[in-house]
Chains A and B, each alone.
Chain A
């Protein structure tokens, strides 16, 4: 598909990225452009989201293709170093040294980010812990914090050094609704003036946070555009029926007992207003079996 131009100048440009693990093609010619603000990366499990994020975060080099982020080309050691100096990365499973306090952990990540001066480093650690509202628990050991708090500690660590490019891999997974809302606020704040790539499989995250969205499935980009454009793709392709529609791409029973179907509606179908989720399922197309199961 033809990439849609981003809002504002592109800060991250990837061309034809590919990566294979054994017989699995995790990334298959991924091209995309990111600009400042929060871009959502949607896709089902196994779509290649985590692999793409790891490639863009320089944790894994691609087999083919290239990308630049904030003017840095990671194929050279100086470009890779430059990119890492302006990168904030929150992995899908951020590991913690459980005996560390929140302060210790962020301090440790700050050292990895080359902040060796103790005074300046501690000042930065306090700043990022304040930014995620964890000042009160900074002396507590990580093993005594809730999952939501630990996730915020990991976000604080990603924010150390005021990175220009923030890569967040499913940060809202496992959080209760209240924590998820709080986390969304933090991500929205982090997205001001930064390029943020947020991997998620929740369309609500995208609807609430993102000015752009990329749908990935089977290692390929299925859609790139605004959330409104993704929703608009489902206009006229969502309908209600009393029974499951046999030719629908996807269909599920709603709370009122009728079926909500997406695909090519039959003549005279009772059309419904599309949602972002409908557009997402349509973008998945051949991959939709998994999400309708």
Chain B
């Protein structure tokens, strides 16, 4: 053994006060290190020690969390929140790879055709789609069980939204770095992305998980088509005025979403798997 559990951590472990990831390290180490087990036995009273062994037994019995879950905990996310996040459908590898492929293709087309509007039109739609699919019956197989659980639906929605939005923005950000020639213009997707996502979510409480993001995405494309028909150097949504408008819409959307938070619990989005009458 090249290391041993610190005495302070052993005491915390015995009292059940050690938290992940230190707890996981201690669990694994104690199973292999006689010296630390003896130290644990000496430093605690028998009743507390028995409870500690029981916890160790339970911990060793539980499957090891996935890599992504362990990483989230390392970054300070509570272990139960990490489990909720890893169950988010669109954070799975297949979805992220599909988004990445789409972005790489778009960036290549933009560079070849010198048309940044293509990227700016697509980039805000990806977080909208990701967030729409992360909470609802479309891709979440456990949605029906989740909506009848006491965990507040809005809280689950927000946990997943932040995670999916974060992942989407990082991917979009990386794509932006591949378009250095366009300067700040290449970042003009950010505010529309926030506006579309907030509005799509706020409307989904009333229009449902399919119609709301579809309507918002459609409105975005219509806006771009109208802007394209007018003489322009830069499409209107990506000018300073357009960006200000997007910021206002994002704020209004967020406000509406907050006001309708209880609706996600009282009237779940429906469309459950398996249909049924």
Point out residues on A near B: beta carbons under 8 Å. 21, 24, 26, 46-51, 54, 57-61, 77, 80-81, 84-85, 87, 89, 91-97, 100-101, 103-104, 107-109, 111-116, 118-119, 121-123, 125-126, 138-139, 157, 169
Residue among B84, B147, B277 having the largest count of chain A Cβ atoms under 10 Å: B277
- In the complex, are the beta carbons of B148 and A57 less than 8 A apart? yes
Which residue of A77, A81, A93, A111 is within 8 Å of B80 (Cβ)?
Answer: A111
- In the complex, are the beta carbons of B274 and A84 less than 8 A apart? no
Report the 6 A-B pairs with minimum CB-CB distance, sorted nearest first: A95-B141, A93-B274, A50-B276, A112-B149, A84-B150, A111-B80
Contacts of A46 in B (CB 8 A): 277
Q: A81-B150, A84-B149, A103-B63 are in contact. Are A95 and B140 (CB under 8 A)?
A: yes
Q: For residue B274, which residue of chain A has the nearest CB?
A: A93
Q: Does B59 contact A (CB under 8 A)?
A: yes
Contacts of A113 in B (CB 8 A): 149-151
Contacts of B147 in A (CB 8 A): 58-59
Q: Does B76 contact A (CB under 8 A)?
A: no
Interface size on B, residues (CB 8 A): 39
For the complex, give the distance between the alpha carbons of A46 and B277 in Å. 5
For the complex, give the distance between the alpha carbons of A80 and B58 in Å. 33
- In the complex, are the beta carbons of B145 and A89 less than 8 A apart? yes
For the complex, give the distance between the alpha carbons of A48 and B275 in Å. 11
Point out residues on B near A: beta carbons under 8 Å. 16, 20, 23, 55, 58-59, 61-63, 78-80, 83-84, 87, 140-151, 156, 262, 265-268, 270, 272-274, 276-277
Chosen A-B contacts, 24 in total, with CB atoms closer than 8 Å, are A26-B277, A48-B277, A49-B277, A58-B148, A59-B144, A59-B268, A81-B150, A84-B148, A87-B148, A91-B272, A91-B274, A95-B143, A95-B144, A100-B87, A108-B84, A108-B87, A109-B145, A111-B83, A112-B146, A112-B149, A119-B16, A123-B58, A125-B62, A126-B58
Q: How far is the CB of A61 from chain B (nearest CB, A)?
A: 6
Contacts of A91 in B (CB 8 A): 144-145, 272-274
For the complex, give the distance between the alpha carbons of A293 and B146 in Å. 38
Q: How far is the CB of B105 from chain A (nearest CB, A)?
A: 27
For the complex, give the distance between the alpha carbons of A173 and B149 in Å. 24
Contacts of A77 in B (CB 8 A): 262, 265-266
Contacts of A54 in B (CB 8 A): 144, 272, 276
Contacts of A24 in B (CB 8 A): 277
Which residue of B59, B151, B266, B272 is within 8 Å of A111 (Cβ)?
Answer: B151
Residue among B267, B270, B272 having the largest count of chain A Cβ atoms under 10 Å: B272
For the complex, give the distance between the alpha carbons of A84 and B147 in Å. 9
